[in-house]
Structure 1
């Protein structure tokens, strides 16, 4: 059976990329090359919310992910990832972001509803993780919030 780990983080830094890198570090996926996929969960897979990833392999390898990400300067960053699965394990992810946690939660619910309607599957379980981070107004720092679904372990890039 496969495993998808949901990890998350948030951080502040003087540039947008530095805040993103620091948020990835909080989720312990900063030493990998992230390859994004569209959001379908394979059959015979479980989804587990873990916060920070364990060691998933050597630095520089690739990780397959679904990513929700928001970066702002002087404001609130909110990222959300939701999932719906059926008994066989297959399912869907839906990712969104914004500046309002309730708006992100609503978008996740509406997105998952729409995705479920497109499929003739018997969904039995739903989950979601929302991360919000606030920067101080006027300090010029960037804030990033991320939530990622990490598929399995890393694989060689070259």
Structure 2
């Protein structure tokens, strides 16, 4: 059975840090789920696709497994977060990072993916990254997120 992992980013600004996080999740269309963080292994039968907005992955309130990169700040400041992934004919890996600049996030993603590949005797023939960045205005709470959402959501109870 094959499943899809959707990689999506979002940014949000609001009066509080949590509200900015919720706004960033809304920008990615993942704000109505109970997110469950998982480590960073891509199942062998999964397809990883980057999307502008996450599709409908089930009813509001359901549990959704995600790998998540998140950064937030009160401005004036720049925040960036990203996820990199490497796949092959078998299992793959995600790696997440955050920093103040896109270039720092990108470098951390590449270094992390290299280290993860070195730990495994798997074949990798593909690598991609997605980095989100935002400038927080003075006094504003700003959050950026990049998430890899695994398959469909499931009832939480």
Q: For the superposition of Structure 1 and Structure 2, which TM-score range results when normalised by the shorter chain?
A: over 0.9
Q: Which residue of 1 aligns with 2:83?
A: 81
Q: Post-superposition shift, 1:100?
A: 1.0
Q: CA RMSD in A?
A: 0.7
**Equivalent residue number for residue 70 of structure 1:** 71
Q: Distance in 2 between matches of 1:3 and 1:42?
A: 10
Partner of 1:141: 140
Q: Distance in 2 between matches of 1:54 and 1:45?
A: 16
Distance across 2 between alignment mates of 1:118 and 1:3: 25
* Deviation per residue, 1:10-40 (Å, 9 max, x gap): 0111100000000000000000000000100
* 2:152 corresponding residue in structure 1: 153
5+ long unaligned stretches in structure 2: none
Paired position in structure 1 for 2:130:
129
The two structures have a TM-score, normalised by structure 2, of 0.97
- Measured in 2, the distance between the counterparts of 1:59 and 1:44 equals 26
1:49 alignment counterpart: 50
Residue 28 in structure 1 maps to residue 29 in structure 2: yes
Aligned to 2:12: 11
Structure 1: state its 5+ residue gaps.
none
CA drift at 1:83: 0.3
Query: How far does the alpha carbon of each residue in 1:49-85 deviate from its partner, in whole angstroms, 9 at most, with x for none?
Result: 0121111111000100000000011011101100000
**1:10 counterpart SS class:** strand
Q: CA deviation at 1:135?
A: 1.4
Question: Runs of at least 4 residues of structure 1 off by over 2 A?
Answer: none
Asked whether the 8 Å contact 2:6–2:50 carries over to 1, the reply is: yes
Which residue pairs with 2:62 in the alignment?
A: 61
Calculate the TM-score normalised by the size of structure 1: 0.96
Greater strand percent: which structure? Answer: 1
